[in-house]
Amino acid sequence: MQKATFAYNHQTAVSSPCIIQWTLFATKKDTSMPMETEGWIEFSNYTSQEERDEEHSWLCWMSISSMMLQIDEVTEKLFGYSKRIIRGDYQISSIAKDRGIPLNPSDLVRREIESIQKYIESGEVFGLTTIYYDEIKKNDSILNSHQSEWLAVIELIEKLKNVKKLDDKQIRLIVWFEI
């Protein structure tokens, strides 16, 4: 099995290199259009980081867009994007802004990224990033919003984690935004 070169340091929460990294320029976005959170939740059955770094070690589990209807403060704190951030009305330090897509995404995620490539190039799709579930758990205070739809996503991730007997590092979210 060929190894992917994606490296992830759980201590510093820095990932590199990435297939795609897209930087948003606020002046180029039409904030009158709806903004959507898109992406997938993936998991790996492999317990060691070395095995999880291999090319075909991640499986796609659930579409994030099937659960996310509103971009809220939790989205801003996790990923650094919202309409008010794009307009320049609000600034925030986020956990996982613009990290890109890992070199070893699941086959489904890889195909979806290929299918939206022209929208990435035009800027309609942006903010591609990856966050591991252990990072979310370490920063669980950002989930204090009792109205965030992210709470339902986290609840489902916990169910997956328990059913599959996974560690937090074996689950990741690959996310991007569309206008």
Q: 132-152 pLDDT, tens per residue? A: 999 999 998 998 877 899 999
75's CB contacts (< 8 A; 6+ apart) are 37, 68, 81, 82, 150
Residue ranges making up the domain that contains 81: 7-178
How many domains is the chain partitioned into structurally?
Answer: 1
How far is 43 from 171, CA to CA, in rounded Å?
A: 4
Q: Is residue 2 part of a domain?
A: no
How far is 42 from 172, CA to CA, in rounded Å?
A: 5
Give DSSP secondary structure letters for 37-53.
EEEEEEE-S--SHHHHT
Q: Is residue 41 part of a domain?
A: yes
Q: Is residue 27 part of a domain?
A: yes
Q: Is residue 1 part of a domain?
A: no
pTM equals 0.82
Q: Is residue 61 part of a domain?
A: yes
The pLDDT of residue 41: 98
The pLDDT of residue 52: 97
CA angle 76, 143, 101 (to 5 degrees): 50
* pLDDT tens sequence across 80-127: 999 999 999 999 999 999 999 999 999 999 999 999 999 999 999 999
Do 8 and 132 form a contact (C-beta atoms < 8 A)?
yes
